Structure 1
């Protein structure tokens, strides 16, 4: 599944949005450090990490809300794994941004949040500790970067301010699990 996800992500993003593809690759690389807490779900998370921003591809941007557009593409064009599609649709507290855009009911009806909080948190952790260029960063710097890039009063700015406590909590839970596991 991971090889397929990388090929799909590369096909859709690398030439049209190379920086977004660099970010997605960096997010997928972060998964390697979580293997000891994810076990058999590492492959699923790596695939979701590689594809989490695929909905930014201009040819897929039907609604302009990348989690929804990406999940629909994976479901409809690729018949992708249901858990993978739900992770992409709901990555990094997307329901809060969907609400800002008037799409929360649509998102939740088509792609309910995955019940496995550990996987949801792990994807948030990987996304929110990776820069737009695919490098490691702190969650605090990542949130500040997003606010700086989009502006505090934009849809994304309003969303990230609302989601910030949840993002920090998710990253904290993953950091706690990692600290509790023997190396």
Structure 2
């Protein structure tokens, strides 16, 4: 059974709103994007919204064990909340996290503990939502979002290396979602 978006929002609010208000605003914006994709994800709409609002929960200071937010967030959701396995896997693997895990020496840990979700379209949808939302929760383009991320990190930092490697995959995922949206009946 898909997790409730209401439950997911309450967890995100409890963990992010006070310590990281900007991260919380971003997560809320990502969830708003997710609601716009109901027509292309169909029965997985609630799951997508839940993953969208929780995708960055691992940034919460009290949850940051490894310092790699997809892994920390997924472990928290699994271990503390017994969350749905599909939700946990989406959070763990959002926005090509496996590439960043490789940069951090955590690729095998992530891959074994949280295998990639089976539905590529759902993974693409979460990438789209994350990468078309600014840190403040506003709408943006994937190109502008990647540029914004690169402006915050040194080129040779873990995130700098990761985002440069992931950018072509991010843009391709966003293009697939935009094509699916364009093919929806109006």
What range describes the TM-score normalised by the shorter chain of this pair? over 0.9
Structure 1 stretches of 4+ moved >3 Å: none
* SS of equivalent residue, structure 1 residue 60: coil
Q: Does 1:50 pair with 2:53?
A: yes
Alignment of 1:125-164 (within 5 A): 125-164=128-167
CA distance, structure 2, for counterparts of residue 10 and residue 149 of structure 1: 25
Question: How many residue pairs are counted as aligned between the two chains?
Answer: 183
CA distance, structure 2, for counterparts of residue 151 and residue 30 of structure 1: 29
CA distance, structure 1, for counterparts of residue 60 and residue 85 of structure 2: 21
Q: Which residue of 2 aligns with 1:65?
A: 68
CA distance, structure 1, for counterparts of residue 125 and residue 59 of structure 2: 21
Q: Which residue of 2 aligns with 1:76?
A: 79
CA distance, structure 1, for counterparts of residue 48 and residue 29 of structure 2: 13
CA distance, structure 2, for counterparts of residue 143 and residue 160 of structure 1: 7
1:83-110 CA distances to partner (integer Å, 9 max, x unpaired)? Answer: 0000000000000000000000000010
Greater helix content: 1
Unaligned runs of 5+ in 2: none
Q: Does 1:93 pair with 2:96?
A: yes
Q: CA deviation at 1:153?
A: 1.6
Unaligned runs of 5+ in 1: none
Task: Say which is worse superposed, 55-64 or 30-39, in terms of deviation.
Answer: 30-39
Q: CA deviation at 1:27?
A: 0.1
